[in-house]
Amino acid sequence: MISLKDRRELVEKLAEARSALVNGAAALPPVRLTEAWKEGDRSPLAMLLHIITTERMYRDQWGKRARDEETPDLAQNSAVTQVIDPSFAEANRMTVEALLRDLRDEREKTLAFIAETSDSEFERVGRNSLFGDLTLIQYLKSLYRHDLMHVDEMAGQEVRYKVTTKDGRRL
């Protein structure tokens, strides 16, 4: 069971990371929004669309199932076993303002999900073939880490948070 302090810390870190992401993206010059820093990277607009998609998946497909089902096998849903991004070209035709609005909307939905989740439900587990068994609080903490990873990427800096699968692969 998480404490009130744990819940507050989670919400604060989610807010801080999202603020850093929104501010970083909003500060980029328009010409930079559709260009990747290096070969193989996403453009900042594509990163924003990826973050929106990932947050929705973590909350709605992984988090809600972990909370509401008894140790669900999240690998059963093929859309959950791989992180599937919308077309990067699609993202580059969107506006930064629209994507930032969608980021804010997704975070509001996540905060509402947290508010409606009881303290004991944060310890419920979902089986995930990519990352292993994770508690709901672990899924939710990964959201602010994911934001911070992309803050670094957008700034053209070395990424501080490295996503690693349970078998040690880096994503």
| Domains in the chain with CATH codes | 4-154 (1.20.120.450)
pLDDT for 162 equals 80
Q: Which pTM value belongs to this model?
A: 0.88
CB 94 within 8 A of CB 87: no
Q: What pLDDT is attached to residue 167?
A: 77
- Strand, coil or helix: what is 37? coil
**pLDDT, position 78:** 43
Please give the pLDDT value at position 73.
86
Per-residue pLDDT of the chain (171 residues; tens, 9 = 90+): 899 999 999 999 999 999 999 999 999 999 999 988 888 788 999 999 999 999 998 899 889 999 999 989 887 554 443 444 556 678 889 999 999 999 999 999 999 999 999 999 999 999 876 778 889 999 999 999 999 999 999 988 888 888 777 777 776
Residue 108: per-residue pLDDT:
97
- In angstroms, the CA 129 to CA 88 distance is 26
Question: Minimal CA–CA distance to 140: which of 86, 63, 44?
Answer: 63
